[in-house]
A and B are shown apart, each in its own frame.
Chain A
């Protein structure tokens, strides 16, 4: 039997699942980003620290992201639009899921590519039509996966990855949000 290696340490994840079953406190994570206005609709957000496993944690390096609007919105386009960040999050979360599930199921992957399209009627954010919502009307993800597996097995990988995806859940289900002025 050849060993399957997609570079995911599934054993560590399975071990963590067992440990955290009996220690729900340690499973409570808080992810954080801090944002700073630059000028116009341009802002930069930095992500470095988070809380989890009962302690403060730090990424290997801080990451900074620029968000702006494109020229067609009469802006300077110093970075992608905030709503595009959601697509980045969704694609990377589902991709990580496919790789992990494939590893767990003993499926060797050669490539995973995907395109994500979010359909957005901007009359909502412009206040041009109160019946139009602000966010995406719908999102479509198309995967192209090359792996040692049947079409059905690949479809099952993709379905399972949606079932266990944090970002898929965050986008497809309501989340309670509090916004305060400090």
Chain B
């Protein structure tokens, strides 16, 4: 196992200070290592995630060679040639477990943002104190965007959130964590080879969730209550003015409808289960008129944060298995090149593949295939 940094590198270096997992402790488990602390319904801090993964590396006696960065992988006779900053290797089979979120995706229109506005991605964000004074425009309303918007607003700054298509979920439904429902009802077990539109499932944005001791919901209504202004999807910058879509109402309607459909499937599944009484959530409230233009030169905003998603970095992969959109071509982790495999990508084999607790089944299946090939 080659690791360019240390074990749990992404959790040491690529997360903001206040981040906690959005999956509850009892679900944050690795093969043979369940959570055994005092707070199964709580959410780990990044420091606790690092400890947890380090502990797993020790228990599993993982043969990690830390501080070795892979700089190129090329097909070679009967396998792959792996170039690293500490010398080269040859292997017969290779598993790409380099992460799904190495790079922050920033839309091309960012180039039009005036130079006086500070721009940043979640990979560079640590906390509100790091930003210059002034208002913040957070672009993207998935888990990252809603969490950063809330934290910045609570620090006293004016915050505007640009909202495109998103996934709304309550933290707790009928007395149970929403991830309990995902896990128990079988939603997370939906398989990649049985799903209607795999492409869409793999691109699904992360849900508007946060892990806090209060187990509060962080949907758009909660953000509005904090005093955050919602605007539509960021569409263009013209002469220093940011232009937003007038379609906010519909993306909210779509998210409400989808959430209600999901909760209805939970209700159906839960007939007779030990859960609380039925619950309904108010539709997302959208102001009668949302702003369609914001002057980025006028001084209202000092910072734009692009919470517009993450993607894997395959620049070092010299094997023709990445499509024009930068996505790895694979079938349930079996990559489209002999002896090449992948783990840790969204919806790799199941909906739960995006999460730490999804690795167990995925690794078993992928390693099984690999072992048979060898």
The CA-CA distance from A150 to B243 in the complex, in Å, is: 36
Q: Which of B32-40, B147-155, B245-253, B299-307 contacts A (4 or more CB under 8 A)?
A: B245-253
Most chain B CB neighbours (cut-off 10 Å) among A138, A162, A173: A173
Chain B residue, CB-CB nearest to A137: B289
B105 within 8 A of A: no
Q: Is the CB of A173 within 8 A of B254?
A: no
Residues of A with C-beta under 8 A to B243: 173-174
B interface SS class: mixed
**Per-position binary interface string of chain B over residues 290-310, scored 1 when its CB falls under 8 Å from any chain A CB and 0 otherwise:** 000000000000000000000
**CB within 8 Å of B: which of A109-132?**
none
Identify which of B238, B254, B257 contacts A152 (C-beta below 8 A).
B257
A173 to B165, CA, bound (A): 14
Number of A-B residue pairs at CB separation under 8 A: 39
Distance from B205 Cβ to chain A, minimum over Cβ atoms (Å)? 14
Counting chain A residues whose Cβ lies within 8 A of the other chain, the interface size class is 10 to 19
Q: Are B235 and A174 in contact (CB under 8 A)?
A: yes
For the side of the interface on B, what is the size category? 10 to 19
Return A120 CB to nearest CB of chain B, in Å: 14
**Would you call A174 and B257 a contact (CB within 8 A)?**
no
User: Would you give 21 A-B contacts (Cβ < 8 Å), ordered by A?
Assistant: A137-B289, A152-B260, A155-B257, A156-B261, A159-B254, A163-B165, A163-B254, A168-B247, A168-B250, A169-B247, A171-B246, A172-B232, A172-B245, A172-B246, A173-B233, A173-B246, A173-B247, A174-B235, A174-B236, A174-B238, A174-B243
* Extra 20 A-B pairs, beta carbons < 8 Å, given A159-B254, A163-B250: A137-B289, A138-B246, A152-B257, A155-B257, A156-B257, A156-B261, A159-B250, A159-B257, A160-B254, A162-B247, A163-B165, A168-B247, A169-B247, A171-B246, A172-B232, A173-B233, A173-B236, A173-B246, A174-B235, A174-B236
* Ranked 8 nearest A-B pairs via Cβ: A172-B246, A172-B247, A162-B250, A173-B235, A174-B243, A159-B253, A174-B236, A159-B254
Residues of A within 8 A of B (CB): 137-138, 152, 155-156, 159-160, 162-163, 168-169, 171-174
